[in-house]
Amino acid sequence: GQCVAVCPVGALMEKDDTDQVIKALADTDMTVVFQTAPATRVAIGEEFGLEPGTDVTGKLVTSLKDLGADYVFDTDFAADLTIMEEGTELIDRLNKFLNGEKTALPLLTSCCPGWVNFYESNYPDMLDLPSTAKSPQGMFGAVAKNYFAEKLNIDRKKMFVVSVMPCTAKKIEADREELKEDGNPDVDVVLTTREVARLIKLANIDFVNLPDGDYDSPLGESTGAAVIFGVTGGVLEAALRTVYEVLEKKTLPRVEFEAVRGFDGLKVATVTIVGQDINVAVAHGLSNARKVMEEIKNGNPRNLHAVEVMACPGGCIGGGGQPYHYGDGDILKARTNATYQIDEAKVIRKSHENPAIKALYEEYYEEPGSEIAHHQLHTRYTYRERY
């Protein structure tokens, strides 16, 4: 940490997790690393009077640097990494299926802890279905405290990782034993979008007039596939962009998969890859998730191969830690549109083309699904009592 500007107001804080971050920022011995989730950049501006759907990515980066962050990185980088690991898992399972071997299908996405908690407590007999890939937040923490701490030549205990998340369930996720090493968490504190806004206000930072900052390197580079993780259907679309190109060994004619976009509670689509029909479904909101899970439990009549679930309506853009939206469809739509615009404006829109991800595999993780990748980037599921 470098900056103590926000410390004197500590006593005025309501009970939240910002005080721990203030402490770490004031500790000159601690390297403080921030990551910002995809959905936060299209919503946090609302806390400062900006229109819903204003993309304030650059201002968010600058504000975190002004607070005293040593590094500001992007969860989107880890979302690209998630696609590499989860996409490889999906390809492995599809190959087995196509060869007539027994395998666990459909693959369920595992990046939403609201959903993970739900299936662990409600469907303990089906825990072979979810991808073992950690969520982007979890992967980021593992990369930061292993690869990046080694690179800086510091003890992982001298690094403090702060997540900026749209989500309160992410706090519980960060506390999982599987996301710790010898008791030291990969992510030290999770702040919601609203908590971060409060921190910025307490530090008297004039957010609206901040210049745009750039994410630090190398955990700050990301593609359009990563940012759409923030909206319902986005994780599956990102995975399809990569899975298609890896299996077909050719460039996608069109990167947008319109069929998995939009606000229908349950979207079903069929994509033909290497001559095979791949059936996918996208659910948002846990009542829709339950519907699709009951269907799978009862014999998977639609022959689904991959299913994305997000617990919040609209996906993370409608998360419980975001500026209050009161279920207002216009606000959710504005945040969604802004997300797709960020994707469209990116030069690189497929996770497997992210040069920083390629370099990370070359330098450290070898290849998706390698032993070290499994050790650091994957997790496991167990039956849990209801949260």
The residues carrying an active-site annotation are: 86, 89, 111, 131, 170, 173, 178, 316
- Coil vs helix vs strand at 206: coil
User: By C-beta, is 112 or 306 nearer to ligand SF4?
Assistant: 112
Eight-class DSSP state of 378: B
Q: Which is nearer to ligand SF4, 1 or 233 (CB)?
A: 233
Q: Which residue is nearest to ligand SF4 (CB)?
A: 319
Distance (Å) of CA 1 to CA 29, 174, 229, 357: 7, 21, 30, 27
What separation in angstroms does the CA of 167 have from each of 185, 320, 372? 18, 5, 29
Instruction: Tell me the one-letter amino acid at 85.
Output: E
**Residue 196 engages ligand SF4 in binding (rule: CB under 6 A):** no
Minimum distance of ligand SF4 from residue 17's CB (angstroms) = 16
Cβ–Cβ < 8 Å for 102, 64? no
Q: Which is nearer to ligand SF4, 64 or 112 (CB)?
A: 112
- Asked if 169 interacts with ligand SF4 (CB under 6 A), we say yes
**Which one of residues 142, 255, 312, 342 is an interface residue with ligand SF4 (CB under 6 A)?**
312
Work out how close the CB of 339 gets to ligand SF4 at its nearest, in angstroms, rounded to a whole number: 13
Strand partners, 128: none
Q: Which stretch binds ligand SF4 (CB under 6 A): 65-73, 99-107, 165-173, 345-353?
A: 165-173
> Are the CB atoms for 168 and 40 separated by under 8 Å?
no
Which lies closer to ligand SF4 via its Cβ, residue 296 or residue 310?
A: 310
According to the binding rule CB under 6 A, does residue 234 interact with ligand SF4? Answer: no
SS (H, E, C) 173-224: HHCCHHHEECCEECCCEEEEHHHHHHHHHHCCCCHHHCCCCCCCCCCCCCCH
CA distance 110 to 131: 6
Residue selected from 136, 218, 315, 369 as contacting ligand SF4 according to rule CB under 6 A: 315
Q: Distance between CA 357 and CA 244 in Å, rounded?
A: 18
Judge whether 75 and 167 are in contact, CB under 8 Å: no
Per rule CB under 6 A, is residue 53 in the interface with ligand SF4? no
Minimal distance, residue 170 CB to ligand SF4, in Å: 6
Residue 289 touching ligand SF4 (CB under 6 A): no
By CB under 6 A, residue 332 contacts ligand SF4 = no
Residue 133 near ligand SF4 by CB under 6 A: no
Residue from 25, 69, 81, 112 binding ligand SF4 (CB under 6 A): 112
Does the protein bind ligand SF4 through residue 166 (CB under 6 A)?
Answer: yes
| Interface residue with ligand SF4, options 106, 114, 138, 218 (CB under 6 A) | 114
Non-local (6+) Cβ contacts of 15 within 8 A are: none
Nearer CB in complex with ligand SF4: 58/320: 320
Pairing of β 180-181 and β 184-185: antiparallel
Q: Output the smallest distance, CB 192 to ligand SF4, in A.
A: 9
Rounded to a whole number of angstroms, the minimum distance from the CB of residue 348 to ligand SF4 is: 24
Instruction: Give the C-alpha separation, 262 to 314, whole Å.
Output: 8
Segment lying near ligand SF4 (by CB under 6 A), choices 13-21, 108-116, 248-256, 265-273:
108-116
The least distance separating ligand SF4 from the CB of residue 237, rounded to whole angstroms, comes to 15
Q: What is the DSSP letter of 279?
A: E
Which of residues 6 and 311 has its CB atom nearest to ligand SF4 in the complex? 311
Cis bond upstream, residue 355 (ω within 30): no
Length of the chain: 387
Residues 1-30 that bind ligand SF4 (CB under 6 A): none
What is the spatial distance between Cα 379 and Cα 129, in angstroms, rounded to a whole number?
13
DSSP 222: -
Q: How far is the CB of 166 from ligand SF4 (least distance, A)?
A: 5
Q: What contacts 136, CB < 8 A, 6 or more positions away?
A: 37, 75, 76, 78, 79, 81, 82, 111, 226, 229
| Residue 25: closest CA among 173, 168, 160, 192 | 160
Instruction: For residue 167, state whether it binds ligand SF4 (rule: CB under 6 A).
Output: yes
| Residue of 2, 28, 7, 1 lying closest to 203 (CA atoms) | 7
CA neighbor of 323 nearest in space, from 198, 208, 194, 231: 194
Q: How far apart are CB 108 and ligand SF4 at their closest, in Å?
A: 13
Q: Does 61 bind ligand SF4 (CB under 6 A)?
A: no
226 counts as binding ligand SF4 under rule CB under 6 A? no
Q: Residues interacting with ligand SF4, by CB under 6 A? A: 112-114, 166-167, 169-170, 310-312, 315-316, 319
